[in-house]
Amino acid sequence: MNNIQSNTANHNQSTSPPSSEKPKSGMQREIQLFGASKPKRFSTKEAIQFYRGIASMIRAQINTADALKYYAEGLPNKVMAAALMDIRNDINSGISVYEAFKKSKRFDDMTLGLIKAGMDSGRLDSAFNDLSERAKADLHMKKKIRKIIMVPALIFPVLICAFIYTQVKIIPEIKDMVVTGDYEPKGPVRIFFKISDTVIAFWPIAIVVLVSIIATLALSNKIRQGILNLAMSKWRTLRKLIMGLRQVTFLGVIKLLHANGINLAKAITTSATSVKGTPLHDELLMAAEKYEKAGVPLSIAFTKYTSVDDQVVHMLSIGEKSASMGAQLSMLTEMYESDCEQLMEDFTNVLNFIVMLVATSMIALVFLGVFMPIFLMGPEMMEQR
- Asked whether residue 89 carries a pLDDT value surpassing 90, the answer given is yes
Average pLDDT, the chain: 81
Closest C-alpha to 145, from 277, 229, 226, 238: 238
CA pair distance 334, 329, nearest whole angstrom: 9
Q: What is the pLDDT of residue 70?
A: 92
pLDDT of 379: 59
Q: Is the dihedral of CA 107, 143, 79, 125 positive or negative?
A: positive
Residues 21, 165: Cα–Cα separation, whole Å? 65
Q: Which long-range contacts (CB under 8 A, 24 or more apart) does 294-298 make?
A: 298/264
- Cα–Cα dist 220/80, whole Å: 31
What Cα–Cα distance (Å) separates residue 227 from each residue in 95, 182, 208, 222, 359? 46, 50, 20, 9, 23
Q: Is the pLDDT of residue 35 over 80?
A: no
Burial of 148 (0-12, 13-18, 19+ CB in 10 A): middle
Do 248 and 333 contact (CB within 8 A), yes or no? yes
For 306: left if phi > 0, alpha if psi spans -120 to 50, otherwise beta; the answer is beta
- pLDDT at position 88 over 90: yes
Mapped onto helix, strand or coil, the DSSP state of residue 158 is helix
Q: How far is CA 44 from the centre of its chain?
A: 11
Q: What per-residue confidence (pLDDT) applies to 14?
A: 40
As to burial, measured by CB atoms within 10 angstroms (0-12 exposed, 13-18 middle, 19+ buried), residue 368 is middle
Give me the mean pLDDT over the 313-342 stretch: 89
Which of 347, 362, 366 shows the shortest CA–CA distance to 155?
362
122/12: higher pLDDT: 122
Residue 150 has pLDDT above 90, yes or no: no
The C-alpha angle 123, 129, 134, rounded to 5 degrees, equals 125
Q: For residue range 194-217, list pLDDT tens digits in order.
A: 888 898 999 899 899 989 988 888
Looking at residue 175, its pLDDT comes to: 78
Cβ-count burial of 335 within 10 angstroms (0-12 exposed, 13-18 middle, 19+ buried)? middle
Percent of the chain whose pLDDT exceeds 70: 85
pLDDT at residue 226, rounded to an integer: 85
Contact present, 332 and 318 (Cβ < 8 Å): no
Tell me the C-alpha distance between 257 and 2, whole Å: 22
Phi, psi of 38 (to 5 degrees): -140, 125
* Continuous segment of H or E residues that includes residue 258: helix 236-259
Closest CA to 128 of 33, 240, 260: 260
Confidence of residue 115 (pLDDT cuts 50, 70, 90): confident
Based on its alpha-carbon atoms, the radius of gyration of the chain, rounded to whole angstroms, reads: 30
Beta strands in the chain (DSSP E): none
Q: How confident is the model at residue 12 (pLDDT cuts 50, 70, 90)?
A: very low
pTM for this model (two decimals): 0.67
Higher pLDDT, 205 or 142: 205
User: pLDDT: is 183 or 163 the higher one?
Assistant: 163
Q: Give the pLDDT score at 384.
A: 53
Non-local CB neighbours of 379 within 8 Å, separated by 6+ positions: none
Q: Which pLDDT band holds residue 17 (cuts at 50, 70, 90)? A: very low
Q: Is the pLDDT of residue 25 over 90?
A: no
pLDDT at 24: 46
Residue 383 has pLDDT above 60, yes or no: no
Q: How confident is the model at residue 182 (pLDDT cuts 50, 70, 90)?
A: low
Q: What is the average pLDDT across 17-44?
A: 52
What is the rounded end-to-end Cα distance, in angstroms, of the chain?
100
pLDDT at 156: 83
> Above 60 in pLDDT, residue 349?
yes
